[in-house]
Chain A
Amino acid sequence: MDVLKIATAGSVDDGKSTLIGRLLYDTKSLTTDKLEAIEKKSKANGFDYLDFSLATDGLVAEREQGITIDVAHIYFSTAKKSYIIADTPGHVEYTRNMVTGASTSQASIILVDARKGVVEQTYRHFFINDLLRVEDIVVAVNKMDLVDYNEEAFNKIVSDFGALTQKQQFKAQRITFVPISALKGDNVVNASTEMPWYDGETLLEHLEQLNPSQVEEVGARFPVQTVIRPKQDQYHDFRGYAGKVSGGALAVGDSVTVLPSGRSSVIKDILFYNASFTKVDAGNSCTITLEDDVNVSRGDILVKSAQAPSLTKELQATVCWMDNNALVPGTKYLVQQGTAQILGKVKSINSIVHTDFSGVDATDKLVLNDIGKVTIQLSKQVLNDQFLDNKQTGSFILIDTQSHATAGVGFIGS
C-alpha cells in the first residue's frame, strides 16, 4: 500500500481543522462513534452544522482554549493510498511545529482564505515548505462559498502566488491550486457543482495521483544504525550493517566507501529478514554485508564510491531554532547527522532569515522559532551533503548537551 505523508498549514480561522474533518467525513473515515461524539459536541456548542474541526482537536488544553498546540497525526485511507496528515497550527510562534510536520511530509496543503487572499502567513507557510523542500504543494483556496464561488477571487490568489514562486529555492517543487469550501464540501472529495469554471481535480483526486519521491537525489547514503553479530554457530563470522537507505539505490557488487574513515569495500549481500536481494531502493531498511573486513560501526555512513561527497569540519547551514534557550555563538551542542553524534560549536550566527521572503538581517542570537544562517565548527569530519541535493544527510539536529532536548534543526547549504 502506498503511503502519502501530508503536512497542513493555515492561519488561524482558515478552516484547516474543518478541511481535515471534511476529508475524513467524505472518505467515510469517521466511524459512527466518532461522528456521534462530533454531533453531540456540535449541538452542545450551539452550532447548526457539524463542526468537523472537533474530529482533530486532541488535548484537553486545546479544547479549552480552542487552539491546536502541537503536531497531531491523522490517518485515513482510500482504496488506493494510506494518508498520514501531520496537522500543525498556523500561529507565527509555531514555526517549530510547522518545520517538524513538513520534515516528514512528501506533500503539503497550504490553506488560503478566499476572502483574505495571500497574506503574510501564507508567505511564511510557503517559505517553510520551500526550505524543507516538500515535493508537492497544494494551495487550497478555502471558503469559496463566502465569495459566491467567484472565479476572479481564485485567479487573483493564483497570480499573487507567482510573486512567491519566483523567490523559491527548491525549483523542483510542484504547486497546484484548488478552489474549495471545506464547510460545504466543494471540491474536497466530491466535485463542486457551484464552480463550473473550474475543471481541475478535487483536492483528494489530486492527492490520489501524486507520486512522491520523484525528485532525484545525488546518491545513495546508508547511515549505519547498528552492527548485527549473531552469536550463533551457523552465522559465526556474520557481520551485518543495519540501516535505512536514502538518496538512491544500492546493489550487490557496488563499490562503497565508509565515511568518514574513507575505507572502501564491495557490497556482498543485501539482506532483509530471512531473504537476500540483489538491489535495494531508497526508503528501505535492510542489512548489508561487505566483502572485506573493514571497521564499520554506528555513525558511519556507507556511500557509493563514485558518488562520495567531500568531508568537512565546518558547516554552513540554515538553522531553525526550537529551544527556549536562545542560540548564541560559542555554545557547544551535539550535532547529529545520519546516526553520528558529534560535538560541535556554533562559530558564528551570520544572519536571521525573515520567513516572509523579505530578506535577512544581522543578529547575534536566534530565539525559539527563528530561522538563521550559521557556521558550525565540528570536532570530527562530517559529510558536506547539501540539503538541496540530499534530504537525509543534508540535514542535522542540534542536541542540547545539558537538557538533551532537540534544540534545533539544520539544513546544510549557504
Chain B
Amino acid sequence: MDITTQPIIDTKATLALNPLESEAVYIFREVVAQFDRPVLLFSGGKDSITLVRLAQKAFFPAKIPFPLLHIDTGHNFPETIAFRDKLVKELGLELIVRNVQDAIDEGRVTEETGKYASRNMLQTTTLLDALEEFKFDAAIGGARRDEEKARAKERIFSVRDDFGQWDEKNQRPELFNFLNGNIDHGQNVRVFPISNWTELDVWSYIASEKIEIPSIYFAHQRKTFLRDGMLWSAQDDVVFRAEDEEVVERTVRFRTVGDMSCTAAVLSTADTIEKVVGEIRTSTISERGARIDDKRSEAAMEKRKQQGYF
C-alpha cells in the first residue's frame, strides 16, 4: 500500500526511541543528501525488503527518492520475483533489472559447472556494469556486520574505486555520526544502513512493523535432497542433483534467500512471523551456515568483496 497517500496519524505522544531504526533512517538521509544518483540494491530477500520500509520512513511523506536495482541471476526463487514485482507496483517504485544471463551470453563471464555450480560470483560483473551504465554513485545494500567476519570490518559508507574494489586496509574511519561521502568522479560508495542490525533484529522488526515477506520464508512443503548435511531444493533444474541424491518432500523454510543454487533450506514448522522470530531466537546455527557459497573457503567472502562483490 502506498502510505504517502494516507493521512498522518496524530499520536499526541512522545516519539519512542528505536536506536537501530533511527540510525538506519539517518544513514538513508545522508545518502540522499550527499550523492547525486543513489540506488537501492534489491534482492527480494528480507534484508532488502526491510531497507525499503526504512527508506519509506526516512522520506515520508515524499516517495522513496531513488530506484531499486535487481541483479537477476536467473536462478532466483519464483516466489521472490513475484513478491518483488508486487512490492514495486504497490509502492509506486522504479525498478531496474539487469540479468547475469546477458553477461554470460556476451561471453564476458563463464558459467560455473559441476555439482556446486552457482551464479553468485557472476553477479559482480553485472552489478559493476549496471552501476557504470546508470552512473550510480551510491549503492545501498542490506549487508549486516553480524553475517560474516569480513563484513564485521565493513564501514557504513564503503568507498570503492573505479573497479568496484574494496581495500580493507584503507578504509575511512567513521567517527560519531559522521559519514564522509566525498568521492572523486568515477568512484562510488556502497552504503549499509543496517550494518549494526543482527539477524534477530531484522526478524523482530519485520514482526513489529508487520512487513510482508515472500512465502518461502515460512514453513511449506518442498521437494528436497540432502547433500553435505544441507537441504537443497529439488524443485527446479538449476540445482544440480546427482541421480543417487534422493528427493524427499519435507516441511522446510528458507532462513536466508539467495539463489536457488546456493541457498539451503532448513527443517521448520514455523508458519507465522512470530514462530520464525522464536526459532531464530533459539537457533544454534548461524544464518550464513545455510549459504553454500560461503562454505567454499574460510576467506570466501573477503575475496569476493575485494573483487567488487556486494
Write the residues of chain A forming the contact surface with B, with a CB cutoff of 8 angstroms. 1, 3, 28, 31-34, 37, 57-61, 69-75, 77, 82, 84, 96-97, 99-100, 103-104, 225-226, 228-232, 234-235, 238, 240, 242-244, 246, 270-281, 283-287, 298, 322, 334, 336, 339, 341, 391-392, 395, 397, 399, 404-406, 409
Contacts and interface: CB of A to CB of B under 8 A. Distances in A.
Which size class do B's interface residues fall under?
A: 35 or more
B198 A275 contact: no
Interface in B157-193: 168-169, 171-178, 180, 182-184
B20 interface: yes
Contacts of A244: 22, 25-26, 177
Given A58-B153, A71-B153, A82-B198, A274 B8 contact: yes
Given A75-B198, A392-B176, A279 B14 contact: yes
A280 B14 contact: yes
B204 A229 contact: no
Contact of B14 (A75, A271, A278): A278
Contacts of B242: none
Given A59-B153, A242-B58, A274-B8, A404 B183 contact: yes
9 contacts: A59-B299, A70-B153, A74-B152, A103-B176, A231-B62, A242-B59, A270-B15, A334-B182, A404-B180
B271 interface: no
B186 to A, nearest CB: 12
A103 B178 CA distance: 10
Contact of A229 (B19, B62, B284): B62
B4 interface: yes
B285 A31 contact: yes
Contacts of B113: none
A73 B302 contact: no
Nearest to A251: B14
Contacts of B117: none
Contact of A392 (B23, B177, B182, B283): B177
Given A244-B177, A275-B10, A392-B176, 14 more contacts: A59-B299, A72-B149, A73-B153, A82-B201, A100-B173, A238-B61, A272-B15, A274-B9, A278-B11, A279-B14, A283-B17, A404-B180, A404-B182, A406-B172
B30 interface: yes
A406 B173 contact: yes
Q: Which 4 A-B pairs have the closest CB atoms?
A: A230-B62, A404-B182, A285-B25, A31-B286
A145 B230 CA distance: 42
A243 B32 CA distance: 12
Given A283-B22, A397-B180, A277 B15 contact: yes
B196 interface: yes
B60 interface: yes
Nearest to B22: A285
Contact of B29 (A71, A75, A225): A225
Residue of B21, B200, B284, B298 most packed against chain A (CB within 10 A): B284
B143 to A, nearest CB: 12
Given A334-B182, A405-B172, A285 B26 contact: yes
B214 interface: no
A232 B33 contact: no
Contact of B3 (A72, A100, A104, A274): A274
A397 B33 contact: no
A70 B180 contact: no
Contacts of A59: 149-150, 153, 168, 299, 302
